[in-house]
Amino acid sequence: MSISANQVKELRERTGAGMMECKAALSETNGDMSAAEELLRKKAGAKVEKKAGRTAADGAIGMYVSADRKTAAIVEVNSETDFVAKGDDFIAYAQAIAECVAQNNPADVDALYALPLKNGSETVSKTREGLVAKLGENIGVRRFTLYRANGNGHIGGYVHGRKIGVLVELEGGNEGLAKDLAMHVAASRPEYMTKEQVPTDAITKEKEIFAEQAKTSGKPANIIEKMVEGRINKYLNEITLLGQPFVKDPDTVVSELLKRSNAKANRFARFEVGEGIEKKSTDFAAEVMATVKGA
> What residue ranges define each of the domains in the chain, with the CATH number in brackets?
5-51 (1.10.8.10), 58-197+240-272 (3.30.479.20), 200-235 (1.10.286)
Which residues have a Cβ under 8 Å from the Cβ of 7 and sit 6 or more positions away?
26, 31, 33
- Residue 172's closest CA among 260, 268, 68? 260
For residue 155, which phi and psi values (nearest 5 degrees)?
-125, 135
State the pLDDT at residue 155.
98
Find out whether 227 and 210 touch, Cβ atoms under 8 Å: yes
> How many CA within 13 A on the CB side of residue 1?
11
Beta bridge partners of 245: 253
Find out whether 44 and 15 touch, Cβ atoms under 8 Å: yes
Q: Residue 197: is its pLDDT beyond 70?
A: yes
pTM of this structure:
0.75
Find out whether 161 and 260 touch, Cβ atoms under 8 Å: no
The helix or strand, by DSSP H or E, that contains position 212, with its residue range, turns out to be helix 200-215
State the pLDDT at residue 229.
87
Query: If pLDDT is split at 50, 70 and 90, which confidence band does 50 have?
Result: very low
Q: Please give the mean pLDDT across all residues of the chain.
A: 86
How far apart, in whole angstroms, are the C-alpha atoms of residue 148 and residue 115?
20
State the pLDDT at residue 226.
84
Q: Residue 22: is its pLDDT beyond 90?
A: no
State the pLDDT at residue 284.
43
Query: If pLDDT is split at 50, 70 and 90, which confidence band does 52 have?
Result: very low
State the pLDDT at residue 286.
53
Triad 69, 71, 73: Cα angle to 5° = 115
Q: Residue 48: is its pLDDT beyond 60?
A: no
Residues 170-197, mean pLDDT to the nearest whole number: 96
Q: What is the identity of the amino acid at 43?
A: K
Which residues have a Cβ under 8 Å from the Cβ of 158 and sit 6 or more positions away?
165, 166, 179, 182, 183, 185, 186
Q: Residue 110: is its pLDDT beyond 80?
A: yes
